Structure 1
Amino acid sequence: KISKYYKRLDKGLLIAVTVCALIGVIMLYSMYKVGIGDIEKRTYIIQLISTGLGIAVCFIIASIDYHHLVKLWFLYAPASIALVLLTFTGLGLQRAGADDRAWLNLGFTTLQPSEFLKLAFILTFSFHLYKDEENINHPLHLLLLIIHGAIPIGLVALQGDYGTAMVFILMFVVMLFSAGLSIKYIIAAIVITPPAIYLLWNYGLQSLHKNRILVLIHPGTDPMGLEYQQNLGLAALGSGKLFGKGLFGNKDDYVIVPEMHNDFIFSYIGQVFGFVGAIAVILILAYICIKILNNSRNTMDKLGKLICLGTFAMIFTHCFMNIGMVLKVMPVIGIPLPFFSAGGTALLSMYIAIGLVLSCYAHNDKKYRMFYDYD
C-alpha cells in the first residue's frame, strides 16, 4: 500500500519545492561564508533542519485524507487564533527593523503564529464553503462567510502586519469567488472597492505605510530613507549581470542589503546567479503555482479544489509581493519569498500547505485511501 501511495504523490511538485528550499539553504550558507548580512551559523542550520522536518511533515499530511483533516478544525483553528492572541501579551516580540509585533518569544527560538493561522484558514474556510455550497449567495450565509474571513484579517492587521493581512484578503477573495459567488455580489464588490480604499487610506493606514506607497509613485523623493532598502535591492539584483558573481566571492564585491537573508533574498539570488539564475527561480516558482492550479482541477470534489486554490493564492501572493518589493514595484511590507527566505516557521508552514495539496492529489479517487475510507 505504501508503494501505491508513493505512486500517487505529485512528485514533481514535491521536488520543485524542495529544490527551492535547498537553494535557500545554500544562499544562507553563502552569506555566512562570505561574511555578509549578519548571518549566524545557526541561521542556515535551522533552515536546513526545517527543510528536513518540512519534507517529513509534508509526507505525513499527504498520507491523510483531506476530508478528515478539515473535520479537525475544532483543534487547530482555536489553537492558531490563541497563538496569534499571545503576541498581544508579554510573549509578543517586535523584531528589530519590523513594524509589526507578530512573533512569539519562546526563549530558545521565535515563532510567527500567523503562518499557522494561514493554514487553519485554508482548511476551515474551504470546509465552510464546501458545507454551505448551496447557500453561499444567501445574504445571511454570505455574511457569516465574510465574518469568517474578517477574523484572521483583523487579527494580523491589529498586529501591524499589513503584508500578511493582504495575503489573507487575496486568499479569501480567490476562494470565495471560486466557490460560486453570484455575479451580483462580484459587481457589488467592484463598486465598493474604491470607497473602501479611500477609507483605508485616510483612516486605516499609518503614515509610514502611506509613504512606502507614495515613494513608488514618486521615486527619488526619499532615497536615503524609505527608498534606501529597495534601491540597494535593485542595485544588488543588477550587479549580478548575466551569470552572477558566484557563491563564495570576495565580501567587498557584494552589495549588502538590509534583510537580505529574509525578505530581500531575491536580490542576493540575482547577485550570486545573475539574470539567468533569477529568471530560473521565477520559473520554478511559476511551475509550483501552475502545478497547484492543475491539481485543483483534478481533485475529487470542491473541497479539494478549494484547499488547492487557497494554497495557490497564498504562495502566489507571497511570490508576487516579495519579488515586487525587490523590483521596487510593490511597497516594503515584510513578505518572505516562499521556500527561500530565512525563517523556520514560514518554511515549515509552506511545506504543510504543500502537504495539503498532495493530500488532495493523492486522495482524488474514492477507491483509494492510504489510511481511511471516506463515506
Structure 2
Amino acid sequence: MIGFFKNKKKSQQEEKGSTEVSVEQSTEAVTQEVVTQEAPLQQKLDKSNRNFGKKMRQLFSINKKIDEDLLEEIEDTLLMADVGATATLRIMDQLSQSVKRRELSDHAAVFEKLKQKLSELAATVEQPLQIDSTKQPFVILVIGVNGVGKTTTIAKLARRFKSEGRSVMLAAGDTFRAAAVEQLKTWGEREDIQVVAQATGADSASVIFDAMSSAKAKSIDVLIADTAGRLHTQSNLMQELEKIGRVMQKNDIEAPHETLIVVDGGTGQNAISQIREFNKATNISGIVITKLDGTAKGGVLFNLADEFKIPVRFIGVGEKSEDLKPYQADDFVDALLH
C-alpha cells in the first residue's frame, strides 16, 4: 500500500495548469436575492459528495475483503478528492494499523474509522470568527488573488455583520482595479453601508488608513478592507501588502485584528501555494474557502488544515449571502460523506 502511495504522490501534487485571473462576480447575486428555503449543506456540496462521498460509500458497499487492495482504493479516493498527500498518508497509516490489529472487523467499522479521522482533522481548524467589541473599529483585512470571490465575500460578510446589529464600513483598498472599487461602492449604496474610496491607482495603504480614521471617529463596529487581487508571484504587490500592514499599525498598533485570505476551493495545490506565499507578507489569521459548491474536490479543506493549521472561518457554497456559512467541522464531514 505504501509503495502504491509513493507512486501516486508525485502525480497528485503536480499542478494542472496555472491560476486563472478573472474579474470577480458582480454583487448583483448578493444584493438581489430571491427569498427561498435554504438548501441543506449536503445539497450544496453535491458535486464533492458524488466524487468523494459516493465513491467512498461504493467501496464499502462492495463485498470485498478488508485487505491491502481495499486500503489502496481508499487511499486513491482521498488523493483524488484533494485531501493532500501528507494528510492521506497519515490517515492511511492509522487505518492500516487498526486493520492489522484486527480492531476493524467489517466494512462499516472501517468507514466509521475513516470518518472519525477526517472529522478529527477537520475539527483542528474549526474556530469561528469572534468580533472583539473592545476594538472599535474591529479591522478585517481581506486578501487573495483575483477570481476567488474576494470582493463578493466582503459584501456577504458586511451583510452578515449588519444583520447582527453591528455598524459596518468598507475600505475600497483594491485601487488597482476600477471595477473592484465601483463594485464595493454600488453594493454599499444599496445596503446603506459607507464605503471609503479614492480614485483608481491611489495608494491602497492611504485609503485604508483614512477608512480606519473615519471608522474610529464614527464609532463603527467593523471595518472590512479590500486589497488588490495579488498573484502570490508578484513580489512588488506583496511588498505593497506589507506596507498596508505597517501603515495600519500607525493608526492602531493591533490592526488588522483579523486577516482573512480567500481561496477558491477548486484550485487545489494553487490554494496551498497562495496561502504559503501570502503568509510571508502578512500574518494570516483566518481562511475563507469559496466555490465549494462548484468543485468535485471538497477534500482541499483537509489539505489546508493539515498544511497550515489556520482556522477556517467561513466556507462559500453558493451565490446568496446565507451561502457564506460559518465553518463547522462535523457538518462539513457529514455533508461530504452522507
TM-score of the pair, normalised by structure 1: 0.24
Indicate the structure with greater strand content.
2
TM-score of the pair, normalised by structure 2: 0.26
